[in-house]
Homo-oligomer: A and B are copies of this chain.
């Protein structure tokens, strides 16, 4: 399904943007560059590790939310459930004109992806929700479409490709088969869930993913991911700043 662009008034200039990111390492460069302030926490229920950073940038109201550190294990709350929850709560509280879910991802060299490439995902589906009952099988894949951004993609010279989401960093043979059937160039751990929630709440989404590791390459994913995380975070920063520059003053229909 497509988000109801008519309801969102695609002719009006975009005024508020919500960045949803899973890892603090992905978010902090943007937060620091834009000099965003950390909220007092009152936007979300008391006691939650979720964080919102907020400020203005060249006429745009910019929020960055991250689900913070796990209260038990102390690592970033990655994966579909925390990202879905914080997207839901932030959209309910802020009613943004546009969500940008950005983060690192794996890429398939067989589909043209290279480390540090910046991708806009045109569609997102799931590869770890196998429900072999008619119609439930399609629900499990749950492919959704993002908003169309041809001008943004052309101006910033971004790549486009389909995204497949799963809660694991690695890939089993079953995952691989479904990722192929999803025709995916990029693989992440949150995108399809953010898009699902955004569609539930009729909010347009852009999925920006920067490649940290080549899934169909020789190196172990975890090692390659950690090696390239810092560099990919810089590309995320540069691309997100270029995106904000491009978006300011434009409507959804002009993206």
User: What is the chain B residue whose CB lies nearest that of A225?
Assistant: B133
User: What is the chain B residue whose CB lies nearest that of A67?
Assistant: B200
Give chain B residues whose Cβ lies under 8 Å from the Cβ of A200.
45, 47-48, 71, 85
C-alpha spacing A174/B75, complex, angstroms: 23
C-alpha spacing A132/B213, complex, angstroms: 14
Classify chain A's interface size. 35 or more
CB of A181 within 8 Å of the partner chain: no
Give chain B residues whose Cβ lies under 8 Å from the Cβ of A112.
none
Contact mask A117-140 → B, CB, 8 Å, 1/0?
A: 000000000101111110110111
CB distance from A92 to the nearest CB of B (A): 7
Quick check: A1 and B135 within 8 Å, CB to CB? no
Quick check: B132 and A72 within 8 Å, CB to CB? no
User: What is the chain B residue whose CB lies nearest that of A71?
Assistant: B1
List 14 extra interface pairs beyond A71-B200, A84-B84, CB under 8 A.
A1-B71, A1-B72, A47-B200, A73-B135, A74-B135, A78-B139, A81-B193, A85-B88, A130-B168, A131-B222, A133-B222, A133-B225, A140-B167, A140-B168
Q: Which residues of A contact B (CB under 8 A)?
A: 1, 45, 47-48, 70-75, 77-81, 84-85, 88-89, 92, 126, 128-133, 135-136, 138-140, 142, 144, 166-170, 172-174, 193, 196-197, 199-202, 221-222, 225-226
CB distance from A11 to the nearest CB of B (A): 22
Our pick among B48, B74, B172, B196 for the contact of A174 (Cβ within 8 Å) is B172
Quick check: B81 and A81 within 8 Å, CB to CB? yes
Q: A169-B130, A169-B132, A169-B133 are in contact. Are A139 and B75 (CB under 8 A)?
A: yes
Interface majority SS (helix, strand, loop, mixed), chain A: loop
Quick check: A131 and B201 within 8 Å, CB to CB? no
C-alpha spacing A130/B175, complex, angstroms: 12
C-alpha spacing A200/B78, complex, angstroms: 15
Smallest CB-CB A-B distances: 9 pairs: A130-B168, A129-B167, A73-B139, A81-B84, A131-B169, A172-B174, A75-B139, A132-B222, A133-B222
C-alpha spacing A84/B77, complex, angstroms: 14
User: What is the chain B residue whose CB lies nearest that of A50?
Assistant: B200
User: What is the chain B residue whose CB lies nearest that of A196?
Assistant: B81
Q: A81-B80, A139-B75 are in contact. Are A47 and B202 (CB under 8 A)?
A: yes
Give chain B residues whose Cβ lies under 8 Å from the Cβ of A199.
71
Our pick among B133, B167, B193 for the contact of A128 (Cβ within 8 Å) is B167
Give chain B residues whose Cβ lies under 8 Å from the Cβ of A167.
126, 128-130, 140, 167
